[in-house]
Structure 1
Amino acid sequence: MMARCGRAAVLVWLGLVAIGVTALLRVGLVSEPPQGARRRPVGFSALEKEQLREALRGAVKIPTVSFSPGNVTTSAMEEFGAYIQKVFPRVFSSSFVHHEMVGGYSHLFTVHGSDPHLQPYMLLAHLDVVPASDEGWEVPPFSGQERDGFLYGRGTLDNKNAVMGILQAMDFLLKRNHRPIRSFYIAIGHDEEVSGHDGARKIAAKLESAGVRLAFLIDEGLAVLDGVVKGIKRPVALVGTTEKGSITLTLTVQRDPGHSSVPPKETSIGILAAAVSRLEQNPMPSLFGKGPELATFEQLATQFTFPLNIVMANLWLFAPVVGRILEWEPSTNALVRTTTAVTLFQAGVKANIIPPFANATVNFRIHPAQTVEEVLELTRAVIADDRVKIRVQEAFNPLPVSPHDEGSFGFQIIRRTIHEVFSDVSAIAPGVCIGNTDSRHYLNLTSSIYRFSPIWLKAEDLGRIHGLNERISLETYERGVQFYLHLIQNSDLPELPKPHKSLHEL
């Protein structure tokens, strides 16, 4: 009986943590502050704080919306380009900063460091946002209104905070007569929300043709999470080292049209609906433990409260149970498998006509342990109906996992910077991004791609990204500017300092 009660207690605790862990929690590595001297956070004057807040407010007011590939608000994109030139004249006029437009509306800055022998790096962001109507918002989404220390508006979290934060940091460095030692690029895409084909992809192609290789690249992604991970009391920072893959399929059924008074046994809609139902009723297999997500709980084990720390440190035993519990909620189910989402369904033209065709669009986000071909093969097997034609719209495999060990220059520079700016963070962990970013277009330029947004998120903030009442605290935004300022300075190191040997190694 005691053994049975013990197992029940463990399962209850596992359920609580699994349901509470959000989609932002991925593969982890607990870290202590890095060796060596740490910079003190840069202090901004009252005037500088007001300037950076007003600069972000003005950026939010410009509705740079992307609707679909090739369909973006071009007039707003042009206005945004003129706006940043007006707000950051030092950046655009500096003798060692070169600016150019790519793909019509994207921006590429080349910052020439004083030592051309050091390999450059890149800061990546995007100026476009998803659509937003006034309905459901506390304030209009493009008003840039401030309430209780928060700036509201579409793009405050995704991703104008990074665009303006990077340029603001560069402006402050120039104001302080700082010239970077290591060269770097600032790339600001204009169509990330609709795949980045006209922005980031063209920037990457331009740099690749010029033979550019990057030491590392940092884009938007995971963040500092406070109270998001149940069972961990202190804030943790997660740095994305990979992304799930994606495949979008069009399913089509064609049948002879006819009158509804003499219907066939099965219509195109019925056949396709049955196929879609089979996909939803038969999800892709659970792969928990076969990808990088297993290390999330193992490496963060010491951060969990008792007895979860014991469970997470022994996933060799508990992984099957943890994996099954993670399937209970959509946010954690995305950790353990390739997800299936039916997003579009089109059929029929009139109430009394048997439709000649029916189309459905299905999007899969591919687990790191699977490939596009494997997902496609499983999809065909589940549908099991030759009358349903399958066409691939777009597909790419999960991205390679970027290095994050002690010798990884980019990861350790980011880690050092997080510790300096977010000193109250208890652990820094590499992770898997469920969503996709512009960074995937730069795979040919570097193997060290990291995804971290220098923002502080609580559980109630997660739904605001792409949702209603998106906002950022002005204090958090100031920290974000500090983060990019410190990152630029920290990246001037020619190489990582060698770690001190511990006592047991002497």
Structure 2
Amino acid sequence: MADSKIQAWKFLKIIVFTFFITVLLLFTSATIRTLSLDVNVGLQLARWEKSNNISLVIDQHQREELLAKFKEALRIPTVSFSERESNTTALRQFVTFLRKAFPTVFSSSLVHHELVADYSHLFQVQGSQPDLVPYLLLAHIDVVPARESDGWEAPPFSAQEMDGFIYARGTIDDKCAVMGILQALEYLLLRGYAPRRGFYIGLGHDEEISGFNGAMNIVRLMKDRGVKLSFVLDEGLAVLDGVISGLDGPVALIGVSEKGSANVKLSVSMAPGHSSMPPRESSIGILAAAVKRLEDNPMPRLFGYGPERDTFEHLAHKFGLPLKFIMSNLWLFSPLLGRVLEMKPDTNAFVRTTTAVTMFNAGTKSNIIPSLAEATVNLRIHSAHSLQEVLDFIQDTVGDQRVKVELIDGFDPLPISSSDEQSFGFQIIKKTVLDMFPKLTVAPGICVGNTDSRHFKDLSSDIYRFAPVWFKPGDVQRFHGINERISKKNYEELIVFYFNLIQNCDIKKLPDPHSSVHEL
């Protein structure tokens, strides 16, 4: 008996010792990983040789001129109201305006321009070395509706200046990029610049209503001509300054993917009746219960299975302890961080496929039990989910044969573009950002909304969504909201960004990892 107790005690000590050693090794490994993240900070551009690019210095006269043109663009109400209604008069006016605003772009022998689907634009800029694979800069002309009565501090199409900001619909979505790209090209051409790598500029006119007319016709045209692209750069993510709690300093997030999207209709149909003799369950009651089940049972938490993991690992060194320790070791702490992120709506979007009930329709008269009740559910699909998996989840969660589940429209999440050291597009964008803003941290990210760029996935495997628009706390809500604005300084920075990006793209290939020389 005594021997068995001794053996049991020895066995217990071995288990405790093994557990202690395992925990110690895990902690040591995690600590080393946390500390090692600081080693490469500040060396992000060490292997790039100093650039010989043309510098852009904007004098006061040019500044007044470029701001005047930007304001004129903002005052043209190129609104997309719905899939069936756009302000075509304003879109025609915008075509005329662009020709007047950028005469060198439209007259240069290096630039071929064509209208697509009446209001969209495709520019091809010829390169001197046709063996270099071209790229595409995307932006869109149309804007969402806006009414001054919603609470705007200035009329939404006035382009009024206040405290160094220009207020107008389209300042950040997306006329800043439309005008910034063309203004950058205008300045380059005026300085006699001829690119080595050819490129395209695509300006869609219906992005806010899915781009089925503008972007998709541009894609068809390029496919017919056999165009393949090195990368695509569109709107999407931005520079966040003070937006992410606990982060030390601003960060530039370059979108490497977009969540998928789906609109699903739930409906209940039954015989109508009089309200004086109601049935035990009505169409509205059955549907409301189904909707409640969807809201009470969110899609599974998937943090760590998509590009959001790379985002937080890239940002880890900019957080203080204990967040730095946790984010440096997501191989161990992903479930913990996922639980924290799901607590707030804005970060919950990184964790899972989100479910939003956006429309509910039923009834025509107060004393009639309606025969039909309908609800529309909008879902933004996580990168680790598929559209079919989401539909199956909804069907299982609703769990009522009386509720019909129909897909209105939808698509899978977009492929994840490369962001490693050999990723040409990502590294060129990153270099351009850090040349301008050396103290920024650059990280890959994911767009929770959708852009025209998703239509171009057959033309390039690398699609990026970024513009150096600065967002401070509260600014994100201006996107599609009231008081959309951009600072005059930030708009000028966008022009410089595209001016430098076009020149940086002229390299033949990236430098070898960890080397220190380069043709730039």
Residue from 445, 448, 459 that aligns with 1:431: 445
Aligned to 1:36: 49
**TM alignment of 1:63-212, pairs within 5 A:** 63-135=77-149, 136-212=151-227
Cα shift at 1:501: 4.1
Q: Which has the higher contact order (CA 8 A, sep 6+)?
A: 1
Which range is displaced more, 75-84 or 293-302?
A: 293-302
Which range is displaced more, 75-84 or 109-118?
A: 109-118
Distance 2:435 2:63 in 1: 19
2:67 is the counterpart of 1:53: yes
Contact 1:30 1:299 survives alignment (8 Å)? no
Distance 1:270 1:460 in 2: 38
Residue 459 of structure 1 aligns to a residue whose secondary structure is coil
Residue 81 of structure 2 aligns to a residue whose secondary structure is strand
String of CA shifts for 1:409-446, please: whole Å, max 9, x gaps.
Answer: 11111111111222331x21111111111100000000
Contact 2:307 2:444 survives alignment (8 Å)? no
Which range is displaced more, 367-376 or 304-313?
A: 304-313
2:328 is the counterpart of 1:298: no
Contact 2:115 2:122 survives alignment (8 Å)? yes
Cα shift at 1:312: 1.5
Q: Number of paired residues?
A: 473
Aligned to 1:440: 454
Structure 1: tracts of 5 or more residues without a match: 1-28
2:313 is the counterpart of 1:275: no
Aligned to 1:335: 350
Distance 2:464 2:257 in 1: 8
Aligned to 1:26: none
Change (3 A) 1:295 1:143: same
TM-score (norm. length: structure 2):
0.88
TM-score (norm. length: structure 1):
0.91
Amino acid in the other structure paired with 1:282: N
Larger Rg: 2
Contact 1:36 1:497 survives alignment (8 Å)? no
Aligned to 2:464: 450
Distance 2:405 2:249 in 1: 47
Contact 1:345 1:361 survives alignment (8 Å)? yes
Distance 2:401 2:117 in 1: 41
Q: CA RMSD in A?
A: 1.6
Residue 228 of structure 2 aligns to a residue whose secondary structure is coil
Cα shift at 1:344: 0.9
Aligned to 1:420: 435
2:341 is the counterpart of 1:326: yes
Amino acid in the other structure paired with 2:232: L
Structure 1 stretches of at least 4 aligned residues deviating more than 6 Å after TM superposition: none
Amino acid in the other structure paired with 1:335: F
String of CA shifts for 1:162-200, please: whole Å, max 9, x gaps.
Answer: 000001001111111112111111000111111111111
Residue from 475, 482, 489 that aligns with 2:503: 489
Residue 252 of structure 2 aligns to a residue whose secondary structure is strand
Distance 1:414 1:318 in 2: 30
Amino acid in the other structure paired with 2:342: E
Contact 2:256 2:307 survives alignment (8 Å)? no
Taking only the aligned residue pairs, the percentage that are identical comes to 55
Structure 2: tracts of 5 or more residues without a match: 1-40
Change (3 A) 1:30 1:271: farther
Amino acid in the other structure paired with 2:264: L
**TM alignment of 1:341-420, pairs within 5 A:** 341-420=356-435
Contact 1:238 1:431 survives alignment (8 Å)? yes
Residue 423 of structure 1 aligns to a residue whose secondary structure is coil
Distance 2:222 2:303 in 1: 37
Change (3 A) 1:501 1:111: closer
Change (3 A) 1:316 1:113: closer
Amino acid in the other structure paired with 1:405: D
Cα shift at 1:319: 2.3
Distance 1:213 1:62 in 2: 34
Contact 1:30 1:428 survives alignment (8 Å)? no
